[in-house]
A and B are shown apart, each in its own frame.
Chain A
Amino acid sequence: MRKALDPFLPVLGVIGLIALWYLAFWSRIVDPVLLPSPGDTFRAMYKGMAGGRLSFDFVKTVERTVISTLIAAGSAIPLGIFLGASQRLYRSVEFVIDFFRSTPASAMFPLFLVLFGVGNETKIAVAAFGAALVILFNVAYGVMNARKTRILAARVMGASRVQVLTGVVLLESMPQTFVGLRNGVSLALVIVVVAEMFIGSTDGLGHRVFEAQQLFNMPDMYAAIFAAGALGYGLNLLFLVAERYFVHWSGK
């Protein structure tokens, strides 16, 4: 009986949150202008996503996030493999990577604005830059931490250096690469949304949130926030499913 309820446990939190929200709304603890009812918010979300302005902005943000992640992965994965294959090479650039990985990407906006102008390119470039460092770091570590025994096993069976790299090391690094991709895409989304809010934007979820707030259209603002949350969650889930498919041995 108790076990049968287990699959529904995650729903409990959602119901609890909505109940709390209704409570706050009906009891007027929070100014109703700042906190619309859940009903109004979901209606705004439905209207916006079903062919409304919100769906357009949603697609724009997806586009930017996906493009910047693809650019980041396409450049950082090969470079990470190259750096990770030589411990000494990685050690020599480790500080630079760690430094820029720790630098808030938002601090780079002005620089990228000078480089790329106020268009789409700047948002994508900053997001790609941030994501690339995260992916690079994870790929390089995945390659460096490839199990010594496995490499030795392949070598003992007569594998050449190239065969060890392609047949063992790359596969060994895949779980860590997926960690990097998941963190990378999350960071890219954060950067894209922030960029959409502030640097001369006319579309995207960040712009939608900001504009709704400026117009004091709270249901629209919450709707856009939830859309952004759903997008982040969905992207993370997508990579988890992809990981389970491509790296079936991960954690086993």
Chain B
Amino acid sequence: MADGAVRTRLATEGVPSSAPSAAPTAPHVTVRGLTKRFGNASIYERFDLDIPRGKLISVFGPNGCGKSTLINIIAGLIPADAGEILFDGKPLRAIRFGYVFQNYREALFPWLRSIDNIEYPLKLMKQPKAERRARVEKLVAHLGVKIDLKRYPYEMSGGQQQLISIMRALVVEPEILFLDEPFSALDYEMTLFMREQLQRIFMETGTTTMLVSHDLEEAVYLADRILLLSRGPAQIADDVPFHAARPRADATLSEPDFITTKAHCLDVFQREVRRG
């Protein structure tokens, strides 16, 4: 039962919405009473959500249920009609965050070399050139990236371009990272490679991460929690934890824990699809 799942979550983790604190157990992001309509279609109706700190949350659900809308509202790309979203009790403008678009081709700036693309947000923060270079070099070393950053984005493969946009999001050392179907425009080989890159980045930085994925295997494989959404208006159909140790690898995919978690998510998903 969807309601049962939500209640369990509330019972185990608690929702100290009135007294936000930086204690490690307190949620990083709190969404309260989120309401969003497009014309007559109600996408979110008094929607509540807690996002725990330092975890990777996958968002999964039927087409058009509002996955993109959710992370776009949380990341401030589109306004909510009503509701409150706080990051450690602070509004969005008080924090640093990163956002990775699905369409890297249209999200990167083709007139800038890759390194200047990555430095762009630092430039907006008025950091001096030397410091920007240093930050990028640190990030490159940290991630073990071996790409010639002097090249323009259009001279690179899709995966490399998406890696550049992920680095652009990470270079500001964000407190939270949003990714909306970041790998769906890549071929399968590149997708597998980029999953590993994202897992590495997450393990290295421990940044709270919210990932929208339309690939259930990917959603479970990368996640600490899988947020399953239902349709119109969107509800949390289930919020499933997945505790497999990191780094996860191909073997993870055949472990019983993975298989039962994925099967459970699929069950919930299909029930929601049939319902709506």
Residues of A with Cβ closer than 8 Å to B? 147, 149-150, 152-159, 163, 168, 171, 174, 247-249, 252
Contact = CB atoms under 8 A, between A and B. Distances in A.
B152 A171 contact: no
A156 B111 contact: no
Given A156-B77, A156-B99, A252-B154, A147 B106 contact: yes
B258 interface: no
Contacts, number: 43
A252 B153 CA distance: 10
A150 B111 contact: no
B16 interface: no
Size band of the B side of the interface?
20 to 34
Given A156-B99, A171-B111, 17 more contacts: A149-B106, A150-B106, A152-B101, A153-B99, A154-B120, A156-B77, A157-B120, A157-B168, A158-B121, A158-B125, A159-B124, A163-B124, A168-B109, A174-B111, A247-B111, A248-B111, A249-B152
B6 to A, nearest CB: 30
B154 A249 contact: yes
13 contacts: A149-B107, A150-B107, A150-B109, A152-B77, A153-B99, A156-B76, A158-B125, A159-B124, A163-B124, A171-B109, A171-B111, A249-B152, A252-B110
Interface string B153-189: 0100000000000001000100000000000000000
Given A156-B77, A249-B154, A252-B110, A149 B101 contact: yes
Interface of B: 75-77, 99, 101, 103, 106-111, 120-121, 124-125, 152, 154, 168, 172
B90 to A, nearest CB: 15
A249 B77 contact: no
B153 to A, nearest CB: 8
Nearest to A171: B111
Nearest to A163: B124
A153 B110 contact: no
Given A153-B101, A249-B154, A158 B110 contact: no
A131 B101 CA distance: 39
A122 to B, nearest CB: 40
Contacts of A147: 106
Contacts of B103: 149
The 6 closest A-B pairs by CB, nearest first: A249-B110, A252-B154, A149-B106, A157-B121, A153-B107, A156-B99
Contacts of B108: 153
A157 to B, nearest CB: 4
A168 B111 CA distance: 9
Nearest to B154: A252
Nearest to A160: B124
B75 A156 contact: yes
Contacts of A153: 99, 101, 107-108
Contacts of B111: 171, 174, 247-249
Nearest to B107: A153
A249 B106 CA distance: 12
A216 to B, nearest CB: 55
Contacts of A252: 110, 154
Contacts of A171: 109, 111
Nearest to B96: A158
A146 to B, nearest CB: 10
